[in-house]
Amino acid sequence: MSFLQQKWNEHQSKPMRRYSSQREFEADWVSGLRRRYRLSQERLAALASVSVTTVQNWENPTSAKRIAEHNQDRLRDIERELWIKAHVTLLEPCPPYIRALHELMSANRDSSAQGLADYLVTCMDAHDPGRPRLLHWAGLAYSIADPASTKARAYEEGALQALGMEHVEGNTSLAAAIENEILGAQFEDLMAQPEAAARRGKGRLLMQACQRLFQRDQQPAYLWNALEVACRAPLDMRDRFDLVSQLQTLLGEEGVRRRVRAEAAYQAARELLADPMPATSATLN
């Protein structure tokens, strides 16, 4: 079965939107790949070793030309390469088992990566400072094939919970880098999900992880991250209100108001900001 045929079958089992034909679905999948990773048609053509006209035909739902199977295989590999690049980096010092997981995932050997991840998680001590990083990679080994898998979600939740417990390997700079990697990957997954209960559930886990990190380090940046998640998920207005109030207590009302109104990420929090009372230039008699 070809790659896009498999994608089409998966879509039909859980349709998120209607397509008039499989060809329309394939065209939307290719353009969606470009949008997701911010690629121009020229860049995708270079990655796939085809002409720009060919990419334009792939994205044209009325084109009579089907996407050849060897080009579908290349699109599959491109999607995998882009996904890995967007979600993980080999931060140094990098343990050999992390490199092994990376190599297996890059080689499209997901079942081997999953088996190794399960084994490593079982063997590693619960208090090992490298555990958050391993749990993150174990989640990736499952979510690269199916972001909604039970195992992926369990490992993701474990990694997020472990983040707030202790610094990784006693190296605070490495800990911060790994935290950013995990939170960044989780945010990418959050934004890729449709606005539904699953997205809000993932958003709540991510918001709570940012709050735990703030409680540990007292860095306002984590609260700003939590507020962005609460706005983007979107979570309840009460969550946004509590975070805005906490930031205002730490940083002052005017500074928080200015940033929330200036940055699109916090648009859903703007309604919570009361305008300051205008100063009167004269006293009424």
Alpha-carbon gap, residue 44 to 35, rounded angstroms: 11
CATH code matching the domain that covers 3-76, chosen among 1.20.120, 1.10.260, 1.25.40, 2.30.30: 1.10.260
pLDDT tens column, 19-66: 888 899 999 999 999 998 899 999 999 999 999 999 999 999 998 788
pLDDT tens column, 165-181: 655 545 567 777 778 88
**What residue ranges do the domains of the chain occupy?**
3-76, 88-186, 193-272
How confident is the model at residue 276, as a pLDDT?
54
Q: Which single residue is written with the structure tokens 């108001």?
A: 257
Question: Is the CATH code 1.10.940 the one for domain 88-186?
Answer: no
Please give the model's pTM, rounded to 2 decimal places: 0.71
How confident is the model at residue 21, as a pLDDT?
87
Alpha-carbon gap, residue 265 to 263, rounded angstroms: 5
Distance set, CA 145 to CA 48, 112, 141, 172, 250 (Å): 21, 12, 8, 32, 42
Alpha-carbon gap, residue 42 to 57, rounded angstroms: 13
Write out the chain's pLDDT in tens, 285 residues.
788 888 888 777 776 678 888 899 999 999 999 998 899 999 999 999 999 999 999 999 998 788 999 999 999 999 999 988 888 878 888 899 999 999 999 988 999 999 999 999 999 998 888 898 999 999 999 988 887 788 988 998 888 888 776 555 455 677 777 788 888 888 887 887 777 788 898 899 899 989 988 988 899 999 999 999 999 999 999 999 999 999 999 999 999 999 999 999 999 999 888 655 444 444 433
